[in-house]
A and B are shown apart, each in its own frame.
Chain A
């Protein structure tokens, strides 16, 4: 186990977190755990932090697995601002553009309770992101992907609401 940090997290301005990591080093989990503790410490609500961490985990995994196609060493930057009861995030990378230049629609895969052998093992990622965030925008500029989104209590799915 190396003691070298696998990511950097700049909290000079506590409400404007700046994070960075390189792909292929297992950085996402430890980085999001530290970010989560920091946001709790700032007094950000538990549900908002949960929603943010679920959405960021999916988006960052997507960057690792698709934009950088699983290759190690790709740069990823995250900015996260916590204010007005919302989390505003921006994720940037220098990997491949989104297929078709736009974000996946995020249809939730269906599961027949009576047929476990047919249950989906994937396709949940973007479906969850779409249900957790709003104001999501994707811009490709030259060699850079930039994804911005907001998480607020208003964007959170309510218990018992269909879809």
Chain B
């Protein structure tokens, strides 16, 4: 499972380059997330944004892996989600996880929000 990572506007952006996060790849996702956010420099980002633009489908195992990824960051950091495709957004709504994860329409909106917070 291919995950890329960059830090922009002080936010760590993890982008998933795969069409599905499901039972078949849930463990790989968690391991890759842990690896990329644990790289040098990643610790600077208090907020990590998971860019799901390429992900068309998320099942309950994939959702469990996203929750596990959130826990890996610890209590001092936040995991936000961006660019939920329709079936992914539906899973988040059905499970009420849309109430506990900050969700942005896309990565640009999340980064703009971070920039706007600026001195505050």
A contact set with B: CB distance below 8 Å: 26, 28-29, 32-33, 46, 50-51, 53-54, 57-58, 61, 64-65, 108-109, 111, 113, 116-117, 119-122, 124-125, 127-128, 131-132, 157, 159
Please judge, given known A-B contacts A53-B87, A122-B60, whether A61 and B23 are in contact too, CB under 8 Å. yes
Q: Is the CB of A57 within 8 A of B57?
A: yes
CA of A113 to CA of B63, assembled, Å: 16
Contact bitstring B69-92, A, C-beta under 8 A = 1, else 0: 011000100000000001100110
What interface size band does chain B fall in?
20 to 34
Chain A nearest CB, measured from B4 CB (Å): 21
Contact A57 B59 (CB under 8 A): yes
Cβ of B100 and Cβ of A111 under 8 Å apart? yes
Alpha-carbon distance A128/B67, docked complex (angstroms): 16
Expressed in whole angstroms, the Cα–Cα distance for A65 and B81 within the complex equals 28
**How far, in Å, is A108 (CB) from chain B's closest CB?**
7
Known contacts A29-B24, A119-B67; is-contact A113 B60 (Cβ 8 Å): no
A113 to B67, CA, bound (A): 12
Q: Could you tell me the distance between the alpha carbons of A124 and B65 in the complex, rounded to whole angstroms? A: 12
Most buried by A among B20, B91, B94: B94
B99 contacts partner chain A, Cβ-Cβ < 8 Å: yes
Closest to B30 in A: A121
CB distance from A110 to the nearest CB of B (A): 8
Provide 29 A-B residue pairs closer than 8 Å at the C-beta atoms, listed in order of the A residue. Answer: A26-B24, A28-B24, A29-B20, A29-B22, A33-B19, A50-B87, A53-B87, A54-B87, A54-B91, A57-B23, A57-B59, A61-B61, A64-B23, A108-B96, A109-B95, A111-B97, A119-B67, A119-B70, A119-B71, A119-B100, A120-B64, A121-B65, A121-B67, A121-B71, A124-B60, A127-B95, A128-B91, A128-B95, A157-B94
